[in-house]
Amino acid sequence: MNMEKLDRDIIKFIQDDLPLSRSPYRSWAEAQGISQEEIVARIQTMLKKGIIRRMGAVLRHQKAGYAVNAMVAWKVEESSADKVGEIMAAYKEISHCYWREVPPSFNYPLFTMIHARSEEELQNIIDRIVEETGIDEFEVLKSIKELKKSSMRYY
Amino acid sequence: MSGVCIGRKGPGSMNKLAMLDRKLLEMLQNDFPLTPDPFYDLAEALETDVDEIGERIQRLKESGIIRRIGAIFDAKKLGYTSTLCACTMLEESIDKFAAVVNDIPYITHNYVRDHELNIWFTLTTPSQEERGRIINELQEQFNIIIICMPAVKTYKIKVVLGMD
């Protein structure tokens, strides 16, 4: 994508933690020779274009009370991918739902991230999904250890 | 969500959070004001003063609940390409693998999971070539076979947590 330099610089700035101050954009804007209103306007444009998906707080799931975060991959026929994908996407406990290209050795192409407050709640969510979709072949990939979790840094 | 958890968590967990903190976290995630003075506008919306909001956000950051406040991008629209990767790795190699991955900025998430494929990570690169280069290097260095599972269709991406 052909991105204007100023937009790229703004992206580099707002991929970090915004200063917790009355005018969090001002000193950076002044250093670039633009107004803080211009930064805000450009952020709004990038939001409209979908380049920025969301502006706001990013939380740590575990610390926010969601102790059990499981990746669950489901064996779904490609012909029913959309139907099942959309049912799963409607669950508020599911944050991510993707159809992935998978090798024959791991034939569970529909991936979901499920966030629950307890093991029982996770099991309960899975049971509801199985009942609603009829998909009963799946792999629960519970995380044993977080080795790295960082925000992507662009440019 | 309806799960109720009473008194099982340590300090800094959600059930100890005051009502105002919950509303604040909800707004910080879903309705962060796109204005030159966003924290003042948040305070107005929550009918409190800006110093109070600043102190609460500071505490939520210190306790680790808020990772950061900023933008989340669509990697694809920025010309980047992402994939989920997995491999089977010997227990004794995991620490070294974790250390190597920590120095690769394009790998943002890396987990040990309870499965024969015990290592799962995400790789977001400026190009397919860069992806291939990183995968090849890791495969050679650790004598592993990495499988790549790029998303071909997205049904949902919404990493906003309900605070009720």
Contact B25, A64 (CB under 8 A): yes
Residue ranges covered by each domain of chain B:
1-72, 75-149
**Pick among 3.40.50.1220, 3.30.70.920, 3.30.470.10, 3.40.50.720: CATH of B75-149:** 3.30.70.920
Domains B1-72 and B75-149 share a fold: no
pLDDT recorded at residue B39: 97
Best interface-test mutation with B: which of A54, A60, A96, A125 has the largest number of B CBs within 10 A?
Answer: A54
Best interface-test mutation with B: which of A36, A58, A62, A93 has the largest number of B CBs within 10 A?
Answer: A58
Contact B155, A133 (CB under 8 A): no
Strands B151-157 and B147-149: unpaired
ipTM field: 0.88
Virtual torsion, Cα B2, B8, B10, B15, nearest 10 deg = 30
Contact B126, B159 (CB under 8 A): no
Tens digit of pLDDT for each residue in A89-118? 999 999 999 999 999 999 999 999 999 989
Contact A138, A71 (CB under 8 A): no
The yes-or-no verdict on residue B101 having pLDDT over 90 is: yes
Mean pLDDT of chain A: 93
Strands B151-157 and B107-113: unpaired
**Interface contact flag, B161 A24, Cβ < 8 Å:** no
Q: Is B153 on the interface with A (CB under 8 A)?
A: yes
Tens digit of pLDDT for each residue in B136-151? 999 999 999 999 999 9
Q: What is the DSSP letter of A102?
A: -
**Pick among 3.10.450.50, 1.10.10.10, 3.40.50.150, 3.40.50.300: CATH of B1-72:** 1.10.10.10
Question: Would you identify the CATH topology of the domain A68-142?
Answer: Alpha-Beta Plaits (3.30.70)
Burial class (CB in 10 A: 0-12, 13-18, 19+), B13: middle
Q: Determine what percent of chain A is predicted with pLDDT higher than 90.
A: 83
Q: Point out the least confidently predicted range of A62-66, A148-152, B141-145.
A: A62-66
Determine if the pTM surpasses 0.90: no
